[in-house]
Amino acid sequence: MVDSARGRRAELVAVGVIRTDPELSVDLRLLRIAERLDAWFDEHVPDVVAVERVFAQHNVGTVMGTAQAAGLAMVGAAKRGVPVALHTPSEVKAAVTGSGRAGKEQVQRMVASILGLAEPPKPADAADALALAICHLWRPSGALQGGERHELTPAQRAWAAAEHAAKGRRSPR
């Protein structure tokens, strides 16, 4: 979780990685993830949830697990009326490094630099999650699921109105 700071900067609020016992059945692993996500949402009350857009790779098993966990995050957000944004891995890499083909280590170093951390967040999944949050923070419009049909929070409406005013456009409703 990151927050907006002056000068288009991002500040670290919190970061965590949910791990489950690989010996558990898939349904129980997903239950544990859902429970931890619910606790995270309740503790941190986000304005928006950014999720990596899952795409098919060579390892279908990994993609399925990632898609299932992403779905839980989207449902958890939807239950609370929190908008969800989807960003592709290359969009996230480009946002934090300037290159959509950046490697994991470069993303980790840039996340640490952007957030003013002494070292990259561990494990690598934590840095990936923060990169996703930074990407959305810097690209707040156009990626929300449901587009204009989704009701924005008061903070998001104020942000969007300020952005549109700065660009000389009418604010969204």
pTM for the structure as a whole: 0.79
Candidate list 3, 11, 38, 125, residue with the active-site label = 125
Strand partners, 144: 85
Q: Whole-angstrom distance between the N-terminal and C-terminal Cα of the chain?
A: 26
d(Cα 98, Cα 87) in Å, to the nearest integer?
A: 15
42 part of the active site: no
**In this predicted structure, what is the pLDDT of residue 139?**
79
Under DSSP, the state recorded for 49 is E
To the nearest whole number, what is the mean pLDDT of the chain? 86
List residues forming the annotated binding site: 52, 125
Q: How many domains does the chain have?
A: 1
Domain of residue 76, CATH code: 3.30.420.10
Where in the sequence is the domain holding 121, given as residue range(s)? 2-169
125 part of the active site: yes
List residues forming the annotated binding site for Mg(2+): 52, 125
d(Cα 82, Cα 47) in Å, to the nearest integer?
A: 6
Q: Token pair for residue 55?
A: 């795409």
User: Using one digit for the tens of pLDDT, what is the confidence trace for 27-65?
Assistant: 999 999 999 999 999 999 999 999 998 876 667 777 888
Candidate list 23, 52, 148, 163, residue with the active-site label = 52
**In this predicted structure, what is the pLDDT of residue 61?**
74
Beta carbons of 131 and 107 less than 8 angstroms apart = yes
